[in-house]
Amino acid sequence: QPRGCTHCEFCGVCIEGFDHHCPWMGKCIGKKNLCAFHTFIVVSMSSLVYIFIATVFYSNPPPSAAPTSPPFSLHRDPMGS
Select which of 5, 8, 14, 22 is catalytic. 22
Q: What is the pLDDT of residue 62?
A: 61
Q: What is the pLDDT of residue 8?
A: 86
Q: Has 22 been annotated as catalytic?
A: yes
Q: Looking at residue 70, what DSSP letter applies?
A: -
Q: What is the pLDDT of residue 65?
A: 54
Strand, helix or coil at 5? strand
Note every long-range contact of 54-58, with CB atoms under 8 Å and residues 24 or more positions apart, other chains counting.
none
Q: Is the pTM for the entire model greater than 0.85?
A: no
Residue pLDDT tens, the chain, 81 long: 678 888 888 888 888 888 888 888 888 999 888 899 999 999 999 999 999 998 888 776 666 655 566 555 566 666 655
User: Distance between CA atoms of 38 and 22, rounded to whole angstroms?
Assistant: 12
